[in-house]
Structure formats: structure tokens, C-alpha cells
Amino acid sequence: MLNKKVEKALVAQIEKEGYSSNLYLAMASWAETKGMEGVSKWMYAQADEERMHMLKFIAYVNERGGKAIIPAFEKPPVDFDNVHKMFEQVLSHEQYVTKSINDIVGVCLGEKDFTTHNWIQWFVEEQIEEEASAQTIIDKLNLLGDGGLYLFDRDILSMRTESEPGAE
């Protein structure tokens, strides 16, 4: 049976993962309307990944005897200043999610829920990858300066594929 404090933390994370998916959908839509096919595809893939994270939390809570609550999600922004600032927002958001995952780890340890502690480690590792991916993109955008956005947009999909597990 799932500890109630741990369940509460996991249910709160469901909302964060769902919002993350919607945020990246909004970013994808914005990029698509600006003609940035590569950025929009990267963001659509990111949105799908965040949705899968949400589903993992839902399934785990329910499997362990808790009750996953599906919340309403806050509306994400619809406009972004530019690609560079958008990816800075991605990094900031991923750092927020990392803190939340680390807080769940703390609750698990405090409640001696070692089963959930073990399960949540996948997300700890995932957040390391998410932050590194966003930082890598920001670094590349910094190298480009104000020019070269066309080439960046064309190449961003290969950046995602290369960083995925099992990619050659």
C-alpha cells in the first residue's frame, strides 16, 4: 500500500508532468507558426515524452493502491520572444521539475518508502538528461548568436536523436 505522504507528492507530480507536456505543445505550436519545423518537431517529441512521464506516475500510484487524480492544467504561454529565450525557459522549467523530483525522493526517504524511492530513480536520471539536453541547445544557440537560425532549425532533430538511449 502506498504511503499517503508519498501518494500526495506523486499526485502533485502528475500535474507538473501534464503541464510540462502542454508547455512544450505550446512551444511547438509557436515554433511551427514561425516556420521552424525542426524546433517544432523537437518540442512535439518533448511534449509526448512529458505526457508519458505523467502516465508513468498515474500507473504507479494506481498500481500501488493509491488513487491518481487527473487535474486541470494551467494554460501555458502562447507567445515566446525568440528561440533562445524559449530554450532558456525550457531549462528553467526542467530545473523546476528536477527540484520537484528531488523533493519526492526526500519524502520517500523520510517515510521509508524504499520501493517508491527505487522507482523514482528513473526520473532522477531522466532529469539529468533533460537539463543537459536543454543546456546543450542553449550553448549551440549562444555559438550562433543572431545568425544561423535556419541551420540550427534544420539540425536540431539530429541533436535529439543522438542523445536518445539506443541511438547510434
7-41 pLDDT, tens digit per residue, is 999 999 999 999 999 999 999 999 999 999 999 99
Judge whether 127 is annotated as a binding position: yes
Question: Is 111 annotated as contributing to ligand binding?
Answer: no
In order of 19, 20, 47, 77, the CA distances from 128 in angstroms are 19, 16, 17, 25
94 is in an annotated binding site: yes
- Polymer length of the chain: 168
Q: Which domains does the chain have, with CATH numbers?
A: 4-163 (1.20.1260.10)
Q: Is 50 annotated as a binding residue?
A: yes
At 56-77, the pLDDT tens digits run 999 999 999 999 999 999 999 9
- In the chain, the amino acid numbered 4 is K
Query: At which residue does the C-alpha cell 524504499 appear?
Result: 114
pLDDT at 167 over 50: no
Could you count the other beta carbons within 10 Å of the beta carbon of residue 86? 21
Alpha helices of 111-148 — where are they, by DSSP H?
A: 114-144
| 17 known ligand binder | yes
> Which tens digits make up the pLDDT trace of 79-123?
999 999 999 999 999 999 999 999 999 999 999 999 999 999 999
Neighbouring C-beta atoms of residue 138, cutoff 10 Å? 16
Among residues 20, 3, 4, the alpha carbon closest in space to that of 100 is found at: 20
